[in-house]
Structure 1
Amino acid sequence: MSYFKHHVFFCCNQRAEGETCCAALGAVELQTYAKDRIAALGLKGKGQVRINKAGCLDRCDEGPVLVVYPDNVWYSFVDKADIDEIISEHLQNGRIVERLKI
């Protein structure tokens, strides 16, 4: 069994000016928001959810992106409402958010 039920990696890669990257699309701020929401909901820790920053996940053209393991589900997102939906639907209730899936 995995240490975490869900391990979520947010691409927070910063590329050179003018190149598409998740960091320039708000990924760092939304990763922090997701981490804080998971803690506030009591979902942080062993057997639950871990939110991490990642370097380049090589999908910046679809970004910003995150991936949920062990489910291997990739999402694009644009705002806190999208993050809240991923947390509520996928991480808490096990339902993939099809409209955000890439």
Structure 2
Amino acid sequence: MSYYRYHVFFCLNQREDGRACCANHGSPALREYAKERVKALGLAGQGGVRINTAGCLDRCEEGPVIVVYPEGTWYTYVDREDIDEIIDEHLVHGRIVDRLRI
């Protein structure tokens, strides 16, 4: 059994050469938003949901990206509404959000 019900990794990679990267799409701020929202919903912590930072997940052209384990579900997102949908559907109800899935 996994330590967390869901372990979510947000790519925060910033490329210095100007190529596509998740940080160019606001991933640091949206990761922080997700972390606070999960905490406010009482989902954070052991046995619940963990929001983590990741370096490059090597899907830059599809970014920004997050990956949710244990399923290994990959998502892209644009704004807080997309993050809310991933949290509400996947992390709360266990339903994959097909429209955001990579």
Q: In which range does the TM-score fall when normalised by the shorter chain?
A: over 0.9
- Secondary structure of 1:10 counterpart: strand
Shift of 1:22: 0.1
The aligned counterpart of 2:46 is: 46
Q: Structure 2 regions of 5+ residues with no counterpart?
A: none
The alpha carbon displacement at 1:18 in A equals 1.9
Displacement, 1:17? 3.9
Q: Would you identify which runs of 4 or more consecutive aligned residues in structure 1 move more than 6 Å?
A: none
Match in the other structure for 1:66? 66
Mapped partners of 2:5, 2:96: distance in 1? 15
In the TM superposition, what whole-angstrom CA distance separates every residue of 1:62-86 from its partner, at most 9, and x where no partner exists?
A: 0000000001000000000000000
TM-score by length of 1: 0.98
- Matches of residues 7-46 of structure 1 in structure 2 within 5 Å? 7-46=7-46
How big is each residue's C-alpha offset from its partner over 1:19-60, in whole Å with a ceiling of 9 and x where there is no partner? Answer: 100001111110000000000000000110000010000001
Where is the helix percentage greater, Structure 1 or Structure 2? 2
Aligned residue pair count:
102
Tell me the TM-score normalised to structure 2 length: 0.98
Q: How far, CA to CA, are the matches of 1:82 and 1:17 in structure 2? A: 28
Superposed CA RMSD in Å reads: 0.6
Percent of aligned pairs sharing the same letter: 65
SS at match of 1:39: helix
Match of 1:77 in 2: 77
Partner Cα separation in structure 2 for residue 63 and residue 39 of structure 1? 25
Distance 2:14 2:92 in 1: 30
Letter aligned with residue 86 of structure 2:
I
